Amino acid sequence: MCRGGRRLPGLIPVSGVVRSVAELVAAARGGERRAVARLLTLVERGGALADEVAERSWSALGGTPDESADGRRAHVIGVTGPPGAGKSTLVAGWMIRLVERGCRPAVLAVDPSSPLTGGAILGDRVRMADATAAGVFIRSIATRGHAGGLALAVPGMVRVLELGGFDPVVVETVGVGQVEVDVASAADTVLVVVTPGMGDAVQANKAGLLEVADLFAVNKSDRPDAADVRRDLELMLDLSGLTGHHREGVNDRPSITSTVATTGVGLGELADATETHLVKLSAAGILGARREERWRSEVRSHLDRLLLDSSHHLVNGLIRGSLMTGDAASYGTSPAAVARGLALLLAEQMTEHLDGVVEDDR
Amino acid sequence: MSKSPEEVGGFKNHPPIRVVLAKLGLDGHDRGLKVVARMLRDGGMEVVYLGLRQTTETIIDAVEQEDADVVGISMLNAGHLTLGPRMVGALADAGLDVPVVIGGIVPDEDLPALVDAGVAGVLGPGASADEVVACVVAAADSRG
Ligand code: B12
Ligand SMILES: Nc1nc2c(ncn2[C@@H]2O[C@H](COP(=O)(O)OP(=O)(O)OP(=O)(O)O)[C@@H](O)[C@H]2O)c(=O)[nH]1
Ligand SMILES: [Mg+2]
């Protein structure tokens, strides 16, 4: 399908005026929502402009990627849990309470892209209409081919929101059957939302849940078997305490808050628990370490994507070339041995290919 | 639908078109809106779905925060002659250069008024997936 005449990525008209990245960053620092939104778009698209946004954001935030000072940085809270657990409803109600407390929260809500068409239906805002009206900044994000419950651009987008003076920044992950661990390396605090009626799911994902959770919300506590879920969870946490299965650094058992997102029950308590967690991280001297770790894992996901994209392309070529024409026979007949032989070829081709990619992005 | 992301303008070569989809006011017919959401997703677009009972204000907040390329409104309650132009005007007042596409029950004789008001496209019952996608793509391109 022809899609001619799209905006050039270098020109950034906002309200009829074309603004540079530097101008947008300055406007975003002043709290202008439209500039924040446009910077989010640039970061999401990737490439040279996204790099410029990242560099200017770091310096505007008065630091370097790995600095541990938490001056102008926001509290980044990841919210994960199974599909339909009530994450969006919960986040919306909770953020409204934070606005009432004088905070300026923002939400990044991630939903999956279709692997077939690249399209996506981003539905989290449906539950967040009241939060929008209360002034919460909400941005929907499609995963755009990234696995792990987040999108590649999320950490960069968090930075733009920090620049815009938003605090906290909440990241709602894709509703996943398995609790995805990506969020653990993208946030200061991870909230896992569980609900009654999925006792088995909780049971099955026990290890994953316990590894990522700093806090739990037992949502839909208006349901009859909510007490059971809470008890199961407490039991699991007690056991994990014995085996030391919690996230390193904070020795406390994750707190559990019972909530009814639709009516607001427990949301104030949840807000308190989350703030307490940040204070504890800070007091234990590990907030900076977590943030440094966040930067490293951001580098890592970009590296993964770069390698995956180029190898995918090249592997297709190798399979079509060497393998189908029989050239690969010299590596033997064991599939694994042939693969190792091809991997060496791949490595050579990758170097060339990546040179090209890096040039293109300049 | 087995078009690759490249063919449909997906995430690889072009950034996907981002569309805010909503129903304005008390019109409860949301079946068409859901169908259209899927058609646009299958056409490689990112659909920010707002659903029922939106106001021009909630739509404008969403367009601004989502940096949307197009607004799609579905109207089956005969409110299009009032609400269509009001939506276009509200976006313009907010300084947002974002085209509006309308679908639903719109009699032919109402088309000129909507076009005059600056509505970028109008589709009715039975519109195919290709027509829906083409209409939104054309609207997105009209921004220049
Ligand atoms: C199903 C239906 C209902 C269902 C709605 C269920 C639901 N959740 O959606 C129920 C039973 C609840 C209902 C109730 C009412 N309905 Co009714 N309903 C219909 C009916 C039969 C079909 C609508 C439908 O779903 N079509 C299927 C979808 C896929 O088609 P679509 O919405 O037109 O969407 C397509 C295109 O229009 C276009 N499109 C639509 N939106 C968009 C948006 C964008 C951005 C784009 C690009 C394209 C696009 O693409 C879609 C795919 O082709 C129509 C008659 C008809 N033939 O349209 C009456 C109809 C819409 N209803 C009508 C009326 C009057 C009512 C009621 C007021 C009372 C009544 N008489 O029944 C109530 C009001 C409810 C309310 N709160 O608003 C009238 C409206 C008259 C008018 N506009 O002048 C109609 C036209 C029937 C008639 N001939 O009188 N209704
Ligand atoms: N009874 C009850 N229903 C709730 C509660 N919280 C949310 N819901 C309902 O649960 C459904 C799903 O809520 P969402 O907020 O969309 O859930 P989600 O986890 O964000 O869903 P995904 O983003 O699709 O994974 C909606 O119908 C909500 O109204 C609650 O505390 N009690
Ligand atoms: Mg959600």
Of the partner residues B7, B41, B137, the one whose CB lies closest to the CB of residue A114: B41
The parent domain of residue A348 ranges over 296-361
Decide if A291 is inside a domain.
no
- What spacing in Å lies between the alpha carbon of A111 and ligand 3's midpoint? 8
- What spacing in Å lies between the alpha carbon of A260 and ligand 2's midpoint? 10
Q: How many residues in chain B?
A: 144
Q: Does A120 share its domain with A266?
A: yes
Last residue of a domain, one of A215, A249, A284: A284
> Do the Cβ atoms of B72 and B85 come closer than 8 Å?
no
Report pLDDT for A131.
97
Decide if A6 is inside a domain.
no
How many structural domains are present in chain B? Answer: 1
| φ, ψ at A76 (rounded to 5°) | -100, 120
| Confidence band of B95 (pLDDT split at 50, 70, 90) | very high
pTM to 2 decimal places: 0.91
DSSP 8-state code for residue A320: I
Mean pLDDT split into 10-residue runs, chain A, 362 residues: 34 62 94 96 93 90 58 86 93 97 97 93 96 97 84 93 96 73 85 81 63 90 91 82 56 87 98 94 87 88 86 82 75 86 87 76 58
Question: Distance between CA atoms of B142 and B120, rounded to whole angstroms?
Answer: 8
Tokens 């990627």, residue located: A65
Question: Distance between CA atoms of A346 and A349, rounded to whole angstroms?
Answer: 5
Report pLDDT for A68.
44
Decide if A134 is inside a domain.
yes
The parent domain of residue B51 ranges over 16-109
Decide if B32 is inside a domain.
yes
Of the partner residues A37, A118, A140, the one whose CB lies closest to the CB of residue B10: A118
**CATH number of the structural domain spanning residue A138:** 3.40.50.300
Tokens 């954001």, residue located: A57
Tokens of residue A166, six digits: 């938003």
Q: Which residues of A327-336 are buried (b: 16+ CB within 10 A; e: fewer)?
A: ebeebeeeee
Report pLDDT for A292.
86
> Do the Cβ atoms of A6 and B143 come closer than 8 Å?
no
**Which residues does chain A have within 8 Å of residue B10's beta carbon, measured at their own beta carbons?**
113, 117-119
Report pLDDT for A45.
93
Share of chain A above pLDDT 70, in %: 83
Decide if B27 is inside a domain.
yes
Last residue of a domain, one of A284, A319, A348: A284
Question: Distance between CA atoms of A338 and A161, rounded to whole angstroms?
Answer: 48
| φ, ψ at A331 (rounded to 5°) | -85, -5
Residues 6+ apart with CB under 8 A from A347: none
Q: Does A217 share its domain with A327?
A: no
Helices (H) and strands (E) in chain A, counts: 13, 10
How many structural domains are present in chain A? Answer: 2
Within 6 Å (CB) of ligand 2, which residues are found? A 83-89, 124, 127, 175, 219-220, 222, 260-262
Of the partner residues A6, A15, A139, the one whose CB lies closest to the CB of residue B95: A15
The CA distances from residue A303 to A79, A186, A294, A345, in Å, are: 25, 16, 14, 20
Q: ∠ CA(A291), CA(A295), CA(A298), 5° rounding?
A: 135
Decide if A151 is inside a domain.
yes
Residue of A nearest to B65 (CA): A37
Within 6 Å (CB) of ligand 1, which residues are found? B 27-33, 35-36, 72, 74, 76-78, 101, 103-105, 123-127, 132, 135-136
The CA distances from residue B73 to A279, A282, B10, B107, in Å, are: 45, 47, 23, 16
Q: Does A329 share its domain with A275?
A: no
Closest CA to A193 of A120, A266, A128: A266
User: What confidence tens digit (pLDDT) does each residue in A282-321 have?
Assistant: 888 888 888 888 889 889 988 988 888 888 878 888 888 8
Q: Does A270 share its domain with A325?
A: no
Q: Does A349 share its domain with A245?
A: no
Question: Distance between CA atoms of B48 and A119, rounded to whole angstroms?
Answer: 11
Question: Distance between CA atoms of A280 and A250, rounded to whole angstroms?
Answer: 8
Question: Distance between CA atoms of A166 and A36, rounded to whole angstroms?
Answer: 10
Report pLDDT for A79.
95
Cβ neighbours of B99 (radius 10 Å): 21
Q: ∠ CA(A353), CA(A356), CA(A359), 5° rounding?
A: 150
For B50, the enclosing helix (H) or strand (E) is strand B46-54
Last residue of a domain, one of A240, A263, A284: A284
Q: Does A317 share its domain with A240?
A: no
Q: Does A229 share its domain with A134?
A: yes
Decide if B33 is inside a domain.
yes
Residues forming beta bridges with residue A111, ordered by sequence position = A142
Q: Does A232 share its domain with A357?
A: no
DSSP 8-state code for residue B1: -
Decide if B119 is inside a domain.
no
User: What confidence tens digit (pLDDT) does each residue in A58-107 have?
Assistant: 888 876 655 544 456 899 999 998 889 999 999 999 999 999 999 999 99
DSSP 8-state code for residue A265: B
Min distance B107 CA to chain A CA atoms (Å): 29
**pLDDT beyond 50 at B4:** no
Q: Does A261 share its domain with A307?
A: no
Cis peptide before B15 (omega within 30 of 0): no
B72 Rama sector, left if φ>0, alpha if ψ -120 to 50, beta otherwise? beta
Pocket test for ligand 1, best of B23, B29, B49 (most atoms within 8 A of CB): B29
> Do the Cβ atoms of B74 and B103 come closer than 8 Å?
yes
DSSP 8-state code for residue A167: B
**pLDDT beyond 90 at B38:** yes
Task: Classify burial at A11, counting beta carbons within 10 Å of its beta carbon; exposed 0-12, middle 13-18, buried 19 or more.
Answer: exposed
Q: Does A357 share its domain with A224?
A: no
Question: Distance between CA atoms of A303 and A298, rounded to whole angstroms?
Answer: 9
Q: Does A203 share its domain with A167?
A: yes
Q: Does A255 share its domain with A200?
A: yes
Tell me the torsion sign for CA atoms A80, A81, A84, A87: negative
Decide if A205 is inside a domain.
yes
> Do the Cβ atoms of A290 and A188 come closer than 8 Å?
yes
Decide if A59 is inside a domain.
no
The CA distances from residue A295 to A54, A67, A159, A299, A305, in Å, are: 12, 10, 11, 6, 16
**CATH number of the structural domain spanning residue B35:** 3.40.50.280
